[in-house]
Amino acid sequence: MNEFYQKDTISIKDFNKEQLEKVFTSTDKIMQLDPSDRREICKGKTLAYLFYEPSTRTRLSFDSAMASIGGNSLGIADTNSSSTQKGESLADTVRMMSIYSDVLVLRHTLDGSSRFAAEVSNKPVINAGSGTEEHPTQAIQDLFTIKKEKKKIDGLKIGIVGDLKYGRTVYSLLYGLGNYDVDVRLISPESLRIRSDSTYEIKQRLDYTESTNIEEHIDELDVLYVTRIQKERFPDEEEYLKVKGSYVVGLDLLKQMKEDSIILHPLPRIDEISTDIDKTKNAKYFEQAEYGKHTRAALLGLTLNENGF
């Protein structure tokens, strides 16, 4: 039996290196299949999505991934139009959605929400973003992108810049990178350093340095992972205004980077990468978004087929 069958994907910490590599191999396989064979993988299966927060890429990439493997999706993209508005609990909503589907994809404002949903759902739950805590499928997509574009992960120097305090993609990426031998440089304003309650665990998994100055590291990096300042998660708008626009990656900065370095971003971008960068060979964030469709299709295929595909 394939070990991912009927398993929840709640945290990237639940994946060891071997399991991550299996998802990558399945992704490579899926990308090579012709569309009609690809559509056999989840033929007749249904994905239900339940999003309590805005999303463009994550929800649509799940939707399009599921369609590409022959399944269909239904769900709630805006909880204002669902019975949540009438006061229905998350537990009851999840129970209902699991009746209508084979797998449930949840995005929620609260840390721990996906873990909780997995406890009440009798179908596998995939975490599509739980508060500031984690976004495991984004990390799978990010690691896969690094592997495809740099041909390896081990041995790379990786800079992560921006909002390291509230950015959940950062936490999942760091936990995922903990499976590899990488040199990580965390770059953020002082007030947006990684949360102190997570540093112990991250230190157990990998070595990193912290800095406020991107120029100190830029010429050494193989990968620059840029993140958006998470405006909506600041308890105080004044604090957001102090750090808004702290780092803008533009052509001047790119000139200092290694010729073959790559720039990633989970998107959406606000102003932290200048649009001049988009057409350069180093910009890989749109490819990264496209890989996200394939990594999600692979994960769904593994989750829903007892013998894999």
For the residues of 196-228, what is the DSSP string, one character each? HHHHHHHHHH--EEEES-GGGTGGG-SEEEE--
| Binding status of residue 176 toward ligand NCD by CB under 6 A | no
Binding status of residue 73 toward ligand NCD by CB under 6 A: no
The answer to whether residue 172 forms part of the interface with ligand NCD (CB under 6 A) is: no
Query: Residue 62 or residue 309: which is nearer to ligand NCD going by CB?
Result: 62
Question: Which residue in the list 22, 59, 107, 165 is annotated as catalytic?
Answer: 107
User: Does 293 engage in binding with ligand NCD (CB under 6 A)?
Assistant: no
What burial class does residue 143 get, using C-beta atoms within 10 Å of its C-beta: 0-12 exposed, 13-18 middle, 19+ buried?
A: buried
- Which residue ranges make up the annotated binding site? 57-58, 86, 107, 135, 138, 168, 228, 267-268
The pair phi, psi for residue 71, each rounded to 5°, is: -95, 180
CB of 192 to ligand NCD, least distance (A): 13
* 228 lies in the binding site for ligand NCD (CB under 6 A): yes
Residues 119, 76: Cα–Cα separation, whole Å: 20
For ligand NCD, the binding residue among 9, 58, 68, 114 (CB under 6 A) is: 58
> Which residue has 């903990």 as its token pair?
178
CA dist., res. 252 & res. 276, Å (int): 10
The active-site residue, picked from 38, 135, 185, 284, is 135
Put residue 87 in one of left, alpha, beta given phi > 0 → left and psi -120 to 50 → alpha.
left
Q: Is 93 a known active-site residue?
A: no
Binding residues for ligand NCD restricted to 136-155, rule: CB under 6 A = 138
Please tell me which residue in 46, 58, 93, 145 is annotated as part of the active site. 58
Site string for ligand NCD, 257-276 (x = CB under 6 A): ---------xx---------
Annotation marks residue 86 as catalytic: yes
> Residue 37 CB, nearest distance to ligand NCD (Å)?
29
- Decide: is 165 part of the binding site for ligand NCD (CB under 6 A): no
Nearest Cα residue to 219 out of 261, 174, 188: 261
Please give the residue ranges that form the binding site for ligand NCD (CB under 6 A). Answer: 57-58, 129, 135, 138, 168-169, 228, 266-267
Catalytic residue numbers read 57-58, 86, 107, 135
